Copies of this chain bind each other. A is one copy, B any other.
Amino acid sequence: MVNYPNGKKTYNKPLISSGNRGMDLEESINITNEYYRNNNIAIIYKKPTPIKLVKMDYEKAKIVEAYFQQPSTTDYNGVYKGYYIDFEAKETNNATSFPLANIHAHQIEHLKSVLEHKGIAFIIVSFRKKEEVYVLPAQIVIQFYEAGARKSIPYQTFVEQGFKIKEGYALRLDYLKIIDENFIKNFNK
């Protein structure tokens, strides 16, 4: 299971639709994070995908053999209003549920640790066919993962316990608005 630089598998290309303006989730989040940085709202970055370096051409400072590795943490982290922010973003073509196989065991462990250390942790899931993107608190993801009985989180759980992100133009996916209104408000430091 090898990830390519955009964090997706080759056999899992994003659908292009007029509704989401041909942008995939990662691109939308990157643009949003750039907006947050440029407007002095938050400092959140996508971490580079780790590689396993096998061979270098040192003369040319060129990597000639390497492989993408599975990250041991989530893809995004940073700081917002003094809070540590940490999340994973995933797309699914499934219309009725989000398959938990999209999130690896070590990422679940990481999200749990972030919560223990009083960070704000969540996942962002794009239901492509519905053209809807949700924030779901890590607590809920962990509950489903640990319940073990089912291998996916129903779409309905996102509707009821998650928060739909309003899409915009310059501010593509203003997920921090949700964090502000639903996470920080009730946050005990």
Contacts and interface: CB of A to CB of B under 8 A. Distances in A.
Contacts of A77: 77-78
A169 interface: no
A81 to B, nearest CB: 7
Which 4 A-B pairs give the minimum distances between C-beta atoms? A82-B118, A79-B84, A48-B50, A2-B61
Number of copies: 2
Given A61-B68, A63-B66, 18 more contacts: A40-B113, A43-B113, A43-B114, A43-B119, A45-B72, A48-B50, A48-B51, A51-B63, A62-B65, A64-B64, A64-B65, A66-B66, A79-B84, A81-B117, A82-B83, A82-B117, A82-B119, A82-B189
Interface of A: 2, 4-5, 10, 37, 40, 42-43, 45, 47-51, 53, 56, 58, 61-68, 71-73, 77-84, 86, 110, 113-114, 116-119, 189
Given A58-B10, A79-B114, A48 B45 contact: no
A189 B45 CA distance: 22
Given A43-B119, A77-B77, A119-B82, A63 B56 contact: no
A150 B61 CA distance: 31
A77 B118 CA distance: 15
Contacts of A110: 43
A66 B37 CA distance: 28
